[in-house]
Amino acid sequence: TFDTPEVLRGVAISGDKNLEEQIPVEIPRALFPVFDLGQRVVLRGDDTDLNRMVIIKNRIRRYGFSGYAGEPLSSSGKVKGILEVYYKQPLEPTPDWADLFSRLSAQVTVAVDKSQLFNNLQNAYVELNQAYDQTLAGWVAALELREKETAMHSREVVDMTIRLAHKMGIKAGDLMHVWRGAYLHDI
């Protein structure tokens, strides 16, 4: 998949374990220019088109493959990655093979999209929590500026509440809510 517009990152590799360890994980996107057109590429080891695709050419020669097939993972008009298949036996793609490869590519594209959406949702959740905590810290700071004696009291209440919650067996994931509530008690 393309992590950034410039870098292709290997997500999953299947096959020879020795090969998996040797194939680089990140590759500049510029080395795969043909996929920006959104078309499937099927190449044999002696194909002259390999001269434009140095990484693929090197992999075919270095690891004894006889050819390559790549299908762009396109979604919303953008190429988000490439489904690659290197094969050792000669391949003559039939219409059934092409249909299967297209369907597999579509499923992988859906998985990539869902993964990216999930990651975006997780990042938004973290950012929302950070904004909430910053807002709470701002309120507490404003209260402390207004009433100096409340500052020590608020901190002591928070410390005692967290210690009590911990002794009561409240889960670590819920302690943040207890911490927030303790800080809010004077606000």
pLDDT in tens, 20-75: 556 556 666 666 655 655 667 777 777 776 666 777 788 788 888 888 888 888 88
- Binned at pLDDT 50, 70 and 90, residue 139 comes out as confident
Whole-number average pLDDT of the chain = 80
The answer to pTM > 0.85 is no
Count of alpha carbons within 13 Å of 114, Cβ hemisphere only?
6
pLDDT in tens, 104-122: 999 999 998 898 899 999 9
Mean of pLDDT values over 154-179: 89
pLDDT greater than 90 at residue 163:
yes
Residue 139: burial class (beta carbons within 10 Å; 0-12, 13-18, 19+): middle
Count of alpha carbons within 13 Å of 164, Cβ hemisphere only?
9
Q: What is the dihedral of CA 96, 97, 100, 106, to 10 degrees?
A: -120
Give residues with Cβ within 8 angstroms of 108, minimum separation 6: 73, 81, 83
- Binned at pLDDT 50, 70 and 90, residue 151 comes out as low
